[in-house]
Structure 1
Amino acid sequence: MASKNRLVKETKVQEIKEKLEKAQSLVLSDYQGLTVEDDTELRKTLREGGVEYKVYKNRLVVLAAKELNIEGLEPYLEGPVAIAFGYEDATAPARILNEFAKTHKKLELKAGLVDGVVYGEEQIKAIASIPSKEVLIAKLLGSFKAPLSNFAYLLSSIKEQKESAETAE
């Protein structure tokens, strides 16, 4: 009986380790007090944002983190803790959870891990304010486009001036 329980725990620790290695970021949150409807809405929003949301036993997360030499998460793994794993966009878990917490006061961001660095609540909220990768790329392209458009307009104006000068002669 004890060996079966141990095997289940070892399997869970391995699963957590795989998620920790694969994730660009993760955010720990206290979900205590959310209604079933709120939790369902949150999970749907996270899934649509490409974020995986899981609840594991804190002790198993601590063991997985230690095996991967991740330090600093343990103090935040107390009480009911859910983990949002971001695989594609490092800011997505923080951004989505922070936005949800604005209208659902029971959800509290505790901490996060981005590129191997543990951040506290305030730093995670700051990370949440960073736009998504797609938005940043669009802004960058927009900043390239504006000067090019202005340059094209300038060339067009010069051409029109020369043409009107030639027809006036």
Structure 2
Amino acid sequence: MAMKDYSDEFRADAVAPYESTPGATYKTIAADLGVNRATLREWVLRDRERCGITAAAAKPAVPRRKAVPSADPDEPIRQVEARVAELEASERKLATERDILRKAPKYFAGETNCEEPLPVRRRPPGHLRGDVGTRRRHSVGGHLSPNEYERRRHKAKITLAA
């Protein structure tokens, strides 16, 4: 399979949802975008290297939260704010993916654009082809019967003599 050459803009748009979404994995983002997981990982690592971010500080793991009753009266508010932040991150991810999908047809149309259309081979009508193809029509197993062979041979001689 041939390697695909993605534009820098596409790569940046692919890295953005991974970096902005807490708990996102290479596998899920790559599947959403239709690229290889290892390719996306390479793009993310190159982007981090370019920005000077270390792998440890890049994206902390998101711990799973459990609903634990608390004595703090502000705890439900903080939980709601955290949920709002998650939803906003999800909304940003979806907006980025939508933008990528809107740009995809233009990107892929550029790959197939060629200056000259490919030639279309068409078979000539039956009467211009001569006896090509008639052999199968009147034969069993691709062979003419002896009588049919002699009849056509005689007909061809008459045509040539005229």
- With structure 2 as the length reference, what TM-score do the two structures score? 0.28
- With structure 1 as the length reference, what TM-score do the two structures score? 0.27
Structure number with greater Rg is: 2
More strand by share: 1
| Greater relative contact order (CA < 8 Å, ≥ 6 in sequence) | 1
